[in-house]
Amino acid sequence: MIKTIHPRRIAREAVLQALYASAMTGEDRAKILKDILNRRSYESNLIKYITNLFNSAMDNKEWCENQIKSRLNNWEFERVALLDRILLIVAISEIYFIEEVPPKVSISEAIEIAKIYCNEDSSSFVNGVLDNVYKTMSNGSKEKNK
């Protein structure tokens, strides 16, 4: 049985790679996005999705990091693995700024991606943080609370 990967999973992974590249190189975001989009052939709707999610994550990075920091108990943000942080930023950006994606889908996808790219404890850590984000969303609203 061949397992197919949903196109949005591929998009989320591309955004994860782009944000990692940004964190590691500090290159211009337009160049990073262009490089990521040139790595493989994407349909136009997926290019829009990747671009939207990447820009949302970049534009709201500090806000997303504050969401993460406020949910860390007895743990310093700087000690959180870089990939875990980036994955959480992607998921929180998707939860709050991508209207067509239900939050539970964003959470589930982040957990599955953590199982692939991060360490063995990451999926439960990501789940805990994102579950708390979901539970504290005001009235189920996906608008950014400043």
pLDDT digits 0-9 by tens, 78-117: 999 999 999 999 999 999 999 999 999 999 999 999 999 9
- Please report whether residue 1 resides in a domain: no
Confidence check: pLDDT of 60 > 70: yes
- Please report whether residue 98 resides in a domain: yes
- Please report whether residue 145 resides in a domain: no
**What CATH number is given to the structural domain containing 89?**
1.10.940.10
| pLDDT tens-digit readout, 62-72 | 999 999 999 99
Confidence check: pLDDT of 138 > 80: no
pTM higher than 0.75, yes or no? yes
Q: What is the pLDDT of residue 5?
A: 77
The 3 state secondary structure assigned to the chain is CCCCCCHHHHHHHHHHHHHHHHHHHCCCHHHHHHHHHHCCCCCHHHHHHHHHHHHHHHHCHHHHHHHHHCCCCCCCHHHCCHHHHHHHHHHHHHHHHCCCCCHHHHHHHHHHHHHHHCCCCHHHHHHHHHHHHHHHCHHHCCCCCC
